[in-house]
Amino acid sequence: MQDRWQLATKVIHAGREANESGALVTPLCQSATFVFETAEQGGARFAGDEQGYIYTRLGNPTTAELERKIAALEGSDAAAATASGMAAVSAALLANLSHGDHLVASHAVYGCTFSLMTSQLVKFGIEVTLVNFSDETEIKAAIKPNTKVIFCETPVNPHLDVYNLDLIAAIAKQHNLVSVVDNTFMTPLLQQPIKHGIDIVIHSATKYLNGHGDVIAGLICASVEQMEVIKFEILKDVGAVISPHDAWLILRGLKTLDVRLTRHCDNAEKVASYLEGHPKVSKVYYPGLESHPGHSLIGTQMRRGGGVIAFELEASLEQSIAFINRLSLFSIAVSLGDAESLIQHPASMTHSPYSEDERIKAGIKDNLLRISVGLESVEDIIQALEDGLASVE
């Protein structure tokens, strides 16, 4: 039955199992450890001879429901919930990279993902090459005999470049690589990379999946074989697992994901069109616009353009910062997918781990701003932008 459900139904019903009390809302199992009936049962569970819960770092009923739900939404065989989006990125990479291996990733990624790759992985003898994933030739040229993983975000944080998942999956399979895609900006309701042949999909569940700005969490979707390593080796030993309470909050947030995402996209499309026509905005990055190079993938790879917009002001760095400070309604904050509209300056905030040269190569200019379009009245959002732009010299 669940296989035939539409995604709007799955976000509410998929992954649910009956509970002893008959509670409609998933019970919160706020327990660190679980009691065995006998010592023999405990030994059997640790040995893997008997199914059952042992310790919440190894599994928890509330967390398990969240994992079943996201796997159903992404179309994967299994999933793991983590303590943060970066824990999801780290676990997916550490499960597939060892000393002497090579990673190929897109040259523009979230700032902390960039820092993980260029500052942390290299400490353990893992090579990293960052390239433009819009260029098939450049991707293929970066692959070496020791390349093991290919990684990207699409759309890209912060400037919303869109990459062809069918092409990336084909390259990975041709070279026997593990493909990893960060699907945070789209969610499985707008894009399902696994259906395009991607091996591992990760999310910062902090964003749209939770949707209320009160949780830090991550999710990983992959095959059962991948998950055995990710969950029961990497996450078990590193310990970057989600708390049951946070898993419960995300389960609550997911129930309204379809409704929220529809409003986010509706608002973003109107805001992007407004910004594209404004004389003080030199460029708008939003896949929902026909002018965006990735717009042709809507309808095949993506269902809609999402709720995040990046744009460049016809202004200096100082003027861009002044614009942010004067802007009403928007909260100056990183993150995205909250009910509130947010604005941030990538070069000095989310992507500050990049050097100036690295930012230029990745296309992150000093006058680039990123907004997460919220659920407010779109007329009020546009009016706030209109008032702010009027004061830009």
What are the pLDDT digits (tens) for 30-69? Answer: 999 999 999 999 999 999 999 999 999 999 999 999 999 9
Provide the domain limits for residue 346. Answer: 257-390
Clarify whether 57 is annotated catalytic. Answer: yes
Q: Which among 94, 320, 113 is positioned nearest to 203, based on CA atoms? A: 113
Domain boundary among 254, 273, 298: 254
**Catalytic member of 16, 55, 57, 303:** 57
Clarify whether 283 is annotated catalytic. Answer: no
**Catalytic member of 207, 231, 304, 359:** 207
By three-state DSSP, how is residue 221 classified?
strand
Domain boundary among 206, 225, 254: 254
Domain boundary among 206, 231, 254: 254
State whether 241 and 309 are in the same domain. Answer: no
Taking residues 107-111, what's their average pLDDT?
A: 92
**Catalytic member of 161, 182, 199, 338:** 182
Residue 10 to residue 26: CA distance in whole angstroms: 15
- Cβ distance 393 to 335 under 8 Å? no
By three-state DSSP, how is residue 200 classified?
strand
State whether 321 and 360 are in the same domain. Answer: yes
State whether 138 and 124 are in the same domain. Answer: yes
- The whole-number pLDDT of residue 357 equals 87
- Find tokens 């509209």 and name the residue: 341
State whether 236 and 278 are in the same domain. Answer: no
**Catalytic member of 10, 53, 101, 110:** 110
Q: Which among 145, 162, 224 is positioned nearest to 196, based on CA atoms? A: 162
Return the HEC string of 264-330.
Answer: HHHHHHHHHHHHHCCCCEEEEECCCCCCCCCHHHECCCECCCCCEEEEEECCCHHHHHHHHHHCCCC
pLDDT category, 4, cuts 50, 70, 90?
confident
- The whole-number pLDDT of residue 359 equals 85
State whether 131 and 54 are in the same domain. Answer: yes
Contacts of 147 (CB under 8 A, 6+ apart): 101, 102, 103, 104, 175, 177
Q: Is the pLDDT of residue 1 over 60?
A: no
Q: Is the pLDDT of residue 3 over 80?
A: no
Q: Is the pLDDT of residue 327 over 70?
A: yes
State whether 102 and 246 are in the same domain. Answer: yes
pTM value is 0.95
Clarify whether 182 is annotated catalytic. Answer: yes
State whether 246 and 264 are in the same domain. Answer: no
State whether 91 and 234 are in the same domain. Answer: yes
- The whole-number pLDDT of residue 363 equals 85
The number of domains in the chain is: 2
Q: How many CA atoms lie within 13 A of 25 on its CB side?
A: 11
Convert the pLDDT of each residue in 11-30 to its tens digit: 999 998 888 888 898 999 99
Clarify whether 195 is annotated catalytic. Answer: no
**The domain spanning residue 262 has which CATH number?**
3.90.1150.10
State whether 296 and 179 are in the same domain. Answer: no
- Of all residues in the chain, the percent with pLDDT exceeding 70 is 99
State whether 131 and 16 are in the same domain. Answer: yes
State whether 179 and 159 are in the same domain. Answer: yes
Contacts of 181 (CB under 8 A, 6+ apart): 151, 152, 153, 154, 165, 168, 193, 198, 200, 201, 202
State whether 224 and 286 are in the same domain. Answer: no
**The domain spanning residue 22 has which CATH number?**
3.40.640.10
Token pair for 215: 């949780």
* Residue 361: how many other CB atoms lie within 10 Å: 14
Token pair for 45: 């569970």
Q: Is the pLDDT of residue 244 over 70?
A: yes
